[in-house]
Each structure stands twice: as C-alpha cells, then as structure tokens.
Amino acid sequence: MEGMYSVYLVVMVLSLGVLAGTLCQVEDGSDNGTTAVYIVTLKQAPASHYYGELRKNTNVFKHGGPRNPNHNPRNDSRSNQSSSSYIARVHDSLLRRVLRGEKYLKLYSYHYLINGFAVLVTPEQANKLSRRKEVANVALDFSVRTATTHTPQFLGLPRGAWPKAGGYETAGEGIVIGFIDTGIDPSHPSFSDDSSLNSYPVPSHFSGICEVTRDFPSGSCNRKLIGARHFAASAITRGIFNSSQDYASPFDGDGHGTHTASVAAGNHGIPVIVSGHHFGNASGMAPRAHVAVYKALYKSFGGFAADVVAAIDQAAQDGVDVLSLSITPNRRPPGIATFFNPIDMALLSAVKAGIFAVQAAGNTGPSPKSMSSFSPWIFTVGAASHDRAYSNSVILGNNVTIHGVGLAQSNNRHCFPSAGTHKNTMLTLISALHALNNETTVATDMYVGECQDSRNFNRGLVKGNLLICSYSIRFVLGLSTIKQAIATAKNLSAAGVVFYMDPFVIGFQLNPIPMRVPGIIIPSPDDSKVLLQYYNSSLERNETTKQITRFGSVARILGGLKANYSNSAPKVMFYSARGPDPEDSFLDNADILKPNLVAPGNLIWAAWSSLGTDSVEFQGENFAMMSGTSMAAPHIAGLAALIKQKFPSFSPAAIASALSTTASLYDNNGGQIMAQRAYSNPDINQSPATPFDMGSGFVNATGALDPGLIFDSTVQKESSKPIWLDTLSWNNAITHMAGHCPGLVPSPGLVINAITPCYDDYMSFLCGINGSSPVVLNYTGQNCLSYNSTINGIDLNLPSITIAKLYQSKTVQRSVTNIAGDETYRVGWSAPYGVTIKVAPTRFCIASGERKVLSVFFDAKMNSSTASYGRIGLFGDRGHVVNIPLSVIVKVTYNTTTNV
C-alpha cells in the first residue's frame, strides 16, 4: 500500500538488502500526506564526470583488487554493498537536515552516472527538497514496461560477420553486454560456460558481482554469466512487490529477460526442443560475449524509473560495454523536451563513459509519433519480420483453405510428423457452444465457448470430431489459455481443435503456440467469419424444435510444425513504433531520426526461463517464440558487441554509424522493404517503408563490420581559420579526443575544423532547446553558459538528416571519417518531394584516417506539412556504400510573417 510505513514493509526492505538509507519517523507518528517515490538529483556532478572516459580509470570503482581472469565472478549479496560511501553519506546528511524529525525512506543513492537519490516522501517533503540550494531537480518516479534459431542465418552471420570475428567460438569475446530486464535463468544451457574447450576468461575491465539469494544460489554465475543483480526498492515501497512470483533476486520469473539475453549473447548450437519437437539450434548474435544482468522489471507490475536508473548506474560502474534495454516508459515524458527524463539522462552519462546503449522502439505502432525512445545518444530499434514462418491451414469441406498459426502435432506423429489430421480424412466440425452438456448454458458461463473446462461439454458429441473454440480478449489478458483449451480437447477425445478469432481482438500479434493435438488458430476476424458462415450454413435442424440434427461441416488441418523460408522479408511489423521523434509533450517533431533502424523482432525463438510465466503457453519449456521490439533490440546489442570487438576504440556514435550507414534498403527478393500500416489484415494494408518506419533500413550484420566511413559524434564547427595539426598538437589532440570520443582518430597533417567532443555535442544540443538551461543544470550539474554556442538537432553529426521545419532553405553539414583504406567516393542523391538538394563535393578522395566535410543544401519548392523522404548515397571505388536517409516534414517556400 503506497504511503504506508508498516513494520512488515520495513522488514521486507531490509531483508532484501535494498535499503540504502534510514527510515526516520516523526515523534508523534503523524503523516503529512500521500507518499510517492521521487528521484532527486544534486547540482554536484556524479563520479563518472570527474574521470572522463570510464575505461581510462578501470580500477577507480572496482569492488576489490585486480581480478584473476581464470576465476569465476565472485558471489555477493546486496546487503554487502558499501552504502556508507562518501556520496551516500552526503545524501543521508542532506535528508536529515531538510526533513529533520520527519519520516522518509531513501531507496537508492545514485553516484556514478547521476549524483542523486530515490526517496519515498510526501509532496510537501519533495517541495522542501526542491528548495534546497544543493538540489538540482526533483522528479516523480514513473512506470516502465517490457517492450533464434534462424535469424543468425537470415542476417548472414555464419558466412559473414562471424568469420570476420574468427568464427562463432570467438564472436563477441571480451565484450560484456548488460541487460536491464526481468532477470535471467542461470541454469539455462544458453548461458553455461562449458560449451567450448577454449579458455573463457572474464574481461578484466568488468567488476560486477553476482548476488546470492535462495532463488539465485552460489554458483549461479560463471565465466559466461558474469554478473547479476536486482533492483526493486521503488516497487517494494508501493506495496506491489510479490516475492513469491517476482523473486527478490536476479532470477527471471517472467521469461522476458532470459529471452532477450539469449538473443544477444546466447551460446551457439543449443537445441530448441518445445513440446517434444526439435525446431533447430539456437544462437545469440554474439555467442562468445559475456552477460551481466540488472533485473529492474517484474512479471506482476512491470517496473519503475527509480529502479531502472539504479540498474543503469550500477551497470556503468561495473564496466559493461553495451547496454540492452527492451523496455519503454508507459507515458511520454512531460516537460520541455522528451529527452529530459531520468532514464535518458542516465544513459547520456553511460554513453559518455563509452557504453553503447540500445533501446526498443516500443510496440505502439503503426501510428505516427508513437516512438517511446527519444534521445539521439540512444540507438532505437524497431521490429521487422524475417523469412521463416510456421503456417498451418484448415481445409473446409467447401474447398476453402484458411491459413492460421499453431505448432500443432499430428494425431499420429510417427506417420505424419509435420501434418495435422490424417491427410485423407475429413472430420466433422462441432462448435463448443453446440456441444454443451445439460447442466451448462451460455447464461451460466458466458465464456464457455473458450473451451476452458471439459466438464461443461458432452464428450459423446465431441469425441473424434474437430472442436471449434473462440479466441477472445481473455486469451490476450491471460485469463484463458490455449494450453487449457487443448487439455479440454484431449479430455473430450477430440480429433483436433480450431480457434476462431473474436472480432474484438484487433492488432494482437499472435505467435505460433505449441499444441499437443492437431490444431489451428485463425488470427484474422474476416477468415473467422468465413469459417463460422460455412459451419452455420451446414447445420441441419428440426423444423419444429430447432434442435440440431446433423453437423454437416467437415474439415482437415494441415501442417504446423515444419517451417518454410519463402516469405518476402524483412517487412516492418504493424506494432513497431514509428517516427517522427516527438520532441515534447506537445508532439512537436525533433530534428532526429527515430527509429535508427529495424532488426528481426517477429517470431523469434530464444531461451525461456524454467519458471517463466509471461507466456502461459510456453510455461515449463526451455524455449519460447516471442514477437516485439523487445526481441529486435538485443539483436542489435549482440551485433554491437561484434563491432566493439573488432574496433575496440569505437565510440558509441561510431558503432551507431556503422550499423546505420550499412543498413539494407531491400528485402530478400530485391524489392522495397514494406511496412504494415494497420492492425487488421496487416499484410494487405502495407506500403513501402519510410525512414520514420525503418530508420536507415534493416540491419546488415556483415556490412556493419566494414562500414568504410563513419559519422562520429562530433559537430563540424565553422571556423575562420583551419587548424593544421603538427606533431605536438596532434599528440595533444589525440589525448584529448581519446578521453571523450574513442574512435575519433584524424591523421596528422590534415586540415580539420575546430571540433567539440561527443558528450559536449549532446550538451550543446540540449542547451539549444528553448528554456532548457535550468533543466540541463538540474540533470547534469553543468551550466549552459560554459558552452560558447549551442546547436540544433540537425547539427549533430548523425548518419541521417531530419528537418522538422524547412523554412525556405538550409545548409546542413556532415563530417565523415575513413576507417578503411584510401578510397574515392562519388555522391548521389534523391531529393524529398517538394525539395531540391545539392551535395558538395560530388566526388572526393579520402585517405585512411582522414575526415571530410559534406555540405547538403536544402531548398523548399512547395508549401507542405506532409513528410517526404530522400536519400544520399556515397559510393566508394573499393565497394563501400554509405546510405544517409533524408526526411523533411514541414516545407515553407517563403516567410509568411508580416509587419503590422
């Protein structure tokens, strides 16, 4: 119960080891109002800001001495953390001074990425804190939610990216991927460290620990799973944490976290066996990468920003290289810009520390501005299909074939291992509503048509026939299950089961579900009508009593277990969130392209927790098939690990550039990538994908390891005088750049313009937002006055150009760095509709390590508020191709303001 300070709550918090401060009570026991969790940041900069690049100070924040790479990660409990650190004591002292004699509960002290704390207080107490000169910002906590046997082949990893990394046995070696999710099942073979005979040392730069609890015993971690923690203080204070199903440990009681971790970094060649059938062998994108888990989301309630920020802060302190967040906020952040929220700002500091941050775009598509990941320093991933599909079908007695989904077994698995019912036999269809026993009516059980209880039915009528059941919204909510309906069918000796879709279930992504009898789910309401019309028209009734005398409809079920690989793919899924990127709560558009790109997210086989309950249909299985942008994001996290392994000095912006500029624009048949546009009949309602659907395109795993040119996150500033780098200034420049933008390596003797470091780019961008100065100071502790100039989003050196409002004309510059050999590039482009563009130079030779500036001139030729799209292509004579998507929304050809 939020706002109640019961002894039970205090004991529970203490027992979980998440109490970072003290519980202080008023002497008279009075309560000043309803309490809530607030995230308080102080004006003093966090620890990471004092040390520049995290990797330059690997020993500053370690939890102990240097690690022996041959030792397993040590186990620890949350209660052993040093909550008496200096910064935590400063936070405690401030709370005691401001809230003298009052009761409050401090949940976390953040000190690495942000300097602040999460505290349970009343609004009046929060107001007191906000008035203190030491306090920069007080924000109300908010909720968040969770947003492969074949995808490695579809992405070309076995013959492309993995050989470049030395084969799958070394792909991702030495890279640590941190997962902010629902935890992990450490017993799953996807995370064992004995799958290879090669040595598997823990990276020396990682200093995380493995919590030990009853649910996560000593020995759960190994050289693969090298860190595991959980964060639930905000949830516990609200009284909604259920330890019996949420687990006060890193253990995954949901399934989602185990699934996403294995997509990115699961071991190679793990057999996928579900319901006794073998569906192939699974592998993560970077099967040799290490896994560190930071559990901040839970099955029963999702999660809260205070816990997520604590998880991000700890992951950065531990030394992860990549952060994967398959989570999104439940609401658009309020305030002057969407970028100013605790999660995005914590990730900004993580990026400053050299960590590549990946986030799911969200499953709120296909409407425009449905994006749930906002900031330019976060790599946002949408969901696309791949070419594998499991489709079965039901053939009706009138020769109509209806396609559906379901991993259905045969009546005789020995003779027909991939079939449904006997191929030569048509079976009678009987609706559950027409097979009720004498004691059951729709009036007594309005959901009886969902086939959840075999006691409601006449076994004599159902035996040997195909039972028709309804699939309603209750299945989506988990109140009814396919598994229980199948049990009903088996108890009644039905030959199979056919589910029709309730017309009120619109836009739900239905994954193929294991069925231990021949079965099919018809996902289309229109196709369901076809089935029911045939069934009803074939019924024979007594003219007097209207009783059914004969069930005349027949059908047989085909297929289900055997995959086919003939689908045109990829296509952007209807549920994948779309741009433009909303800059603020008024839905003004940002000059930033979102999503960054799309990756496989539909029908993804991956590991599943042994006690996972997120999908009832896969309970008790070791693998599950899931769909969503949650599945797309870890694909990119794993591929980012491969890039980081090949280019250790790459900055997060350089990794983002490599992924973006090499993305594919075409499907596997050479046609345009399509985007689904509607919840209903999505394969009919589709059209060519735009940058606001797919960003730069569909990820090209092999191409990303050889991008040729990169757009590092440095703004090209105009200067009156170019700077020639002599040997001395060259060395100084390299020292300076390495601390701020790893991977930015210009060649000595080249002409370059004055540049600002990557973190400063983002700060200049944030400071350029109207009215943002106090907010920037609140979140970062840095004053916008310290920046000589500010920039707009369009000036960030991103591998895309998005102009929300083009007034007459505009010149945009982009700077590229050659990380390959000397090469000559020619430039081509297609202009957005209603706009003319010119690019200079149209041809250039660029030496290895050299930087080159491209100028792009936009001129509006019509007034329009409709978005239009184009593209710039850089074509190298050594085979490199660099794609730069263009998006222009509002176009104005003349100044409409007049003087009065």
- DSSP assignment string, 437-476: -TT--TTT-TTGGG---GGGB-HHHHTTSEEEEEE-HHHH
The answer to whether residue 785 is domain-embedded is no
Give the pairing of strands 322-325 and 356-360: parallel
Which tens digit of pLDDT belongs to each residue from 170-208?
777 899 999 999 999 999 999 998 866 677 889 999 999
Share of the chain above pLDDT 90, in %: 50
Please say if 290 is a catalytic residue: no
In a domain, 744, yes or no: no
Question: Domain boundary residue among 512, 535, 563?
Answer: 563
Mark whether 555 and 408 lie in a shared domain: yes
Q: Is 334 within a domain?
A: yes
Taking each helix axis from N to C terminus, what angle separates 256-265 and 629-646, rounded to the nearest 10 degrees? 30
**Is 249 in the same domain as 263?**
yes
Residues 383, 384, 390, 396, CA torsion sign: positive
- Do 346 and 295 fall into the same domain? yes
Residue type present at position 725: L
Helix, strand, coil share (%) of the chain residues, nearest 5: 25, 25, 50
Tell me the residue length of the chain: 900
d(Cα 64, Cα 46) in Å, to the nearest integer? Answer: 21
Q: What is the CATH number of the domain that holds 123?
A: 3.30.70.80
CA dist., res. 816 & res. 780, Å (int): 29
Asked whether residue 326 falls in the same domain as residue 406, the answer is no
Q: How far is CA 792 from the centre of its chain?
A: 27
Q: Which of 181, 527, 584, 667 is catalytic?
A: 181
Helix (H) or strand (E) holding 643: helix 629-646
What residues contact 593, with CB distance under 8 A and at least 6 apart? 579, 581, 691, 692, 695, 696, 798, 800, 801, 802, 885, 887
Stretches in the chain below the pLDDT threshold 70: 1-33, 47-84, 145-160, 162, 164-166, 168, 195-197, 407-423, 506-511, 559-566, 613-617, 713-757, 895-900
Strands 290-295 and 225-230: parallel
Domain boundary among 504, 529, 563: 563
Residues 618 and 685 in one domain: yes
Asked whether the beta carbons of 854 and 891 are under 8 A apart, the reply is no
Torsion sign across C-alpha atoms 742, 744, 748, 753: negative
**Distance (Å, rounded) from C-alpha 485 to C-alpha 498?**
10
The tokens 């790893």 sit on which residue?
Answer: 742
> What is the b/e burial string over 852-870, where b = at least 16 CB atoms within 10 angstroms of the residue's CB?
bbbebebbbeeebeebbbb
Does residue 529 sit within a domain? yes
Provide the pairing of β-strand 290-295 with 176-181. parallel
Cα 456 to chain centroid, rounded: 42
Q: Tokens 């041809």 belong to which residue?
A: 843
In a domain, 13, yes or no: no
Count Cα neighbours of 21 within 13 Å in the Cβ-side half-sphere: 27
What is the spatial distance between Cα 766 and Cα 590, in angstroms, rounded to a whole number? 12
Candidates 150, 188, 230, 256; catalytic one: 256
Give the position of tokens 């076995």: 158
Residue 325's SS3 state is strand
Give Cβ neighbours of residue 284 (< 8 Å, ≥ 6 apart): 148, 172, 190, 262, 263, 264, 265, 266, 267, 268, 638
CATH code of 433's domain? 3.50.30.30
Q: Is there a single domain that holds both residue 180 and residue 300?
A: yes
Q: What is the CA radius of gyration of the chain?
A: 29
Cα torsion 82, 83, 89, 93 to 10°: value is: -170
**What is residue 39's three-state secondary structure?**
strand
Would you give the end-to-end CA distance of the chain in angstroms? Answer: 60
- Name, in order, each residue with C-beta under 8 angstroms of 492's C-beta and a sequence gap of 6 or more: 454, 457, 459, 462, 463, 467
Verify that 282 and 359 share a domain, yes or no.
yes
358 contacts 633 by C-beta, under 8 angstroms: yes
| Per-residue exposure over 791-813, b if at least 16 CB sit within 10 Å of its own CB, e if not | bebbbbbbbbbbbbebeeebebb
* CA-wise closest residue to 22 among 81, 87, 86, 89: 89
In this structure, the answer to whether residues 203 and 349 fall within a common structural domain is: yes
Q: How many domains does the chain have?
A: 4
How many Cα atoms are found within 13 Å in the side-chain-facing hemisphere of 164? Answer: 20
Kindly give the pairing relationship between strand 548-551 and strand 751-752. Answer: unpaired
Cα separation of 658 and 704, whole Å?
5
Residue 790 falls inside a structural domain: no
pLDDT of residue 33: 58
Distance CA 831, CA 184 (A): 47
* Cα 134 to Cα 49, 93, 130, distances in angstroms: 17, 12, 9
- Which residues touch 212 (CB under 8 Å, ≥6 apart)? 75, 76, 77, 218, 220
Residue 1 lies in a domain: no
Residue 272's closest CA among 410, 159, 388?
388
Q: Are residues 41 and 779 in contact, defined by beta-carbon separation less than 8 angstroms? A: yes
* Containing structural domain, residue 117: 34-45+84-143
Task: Tell me whether residue 543 is in a domain.
Answer: yes
Q: Are residues 226 and 269 in the same domain?
A: yes
End residue of a domain, out of 537, 563, 589: 563
Co-location of 206 and 349 in the same domain = yes
Active site residue 181: yes
606 and 473 housed in the same domain: no
Find the CATH number of the domain harbouring 859: 2.60.40.2310
Which alpha helices (DSSP H) does 79-208 contain, by range? 86-98, 123-130, 151-154, 161-164
CA distance 305 to 308: 5
Task: Compute the distance between CA of residue 459 and CA of residue 464 in angstroms, rounded to an integer.
Answer: 10
Model's pTM, two decimal places?
0.80
Separation CA 435–CA 430 (nearest Å): 7
Element (H, E) at 318: helix 305-318
- Shared-domain flag, residues 834 and 864: yes
Joined together, the tokens standing for residue 868 give: 């239009």
- Of the residues 190, 207, 630, 800, only one is catalytic, namely 630
630 is catalytic: yes
Q: DSSP assignment, residue 693?
A: H
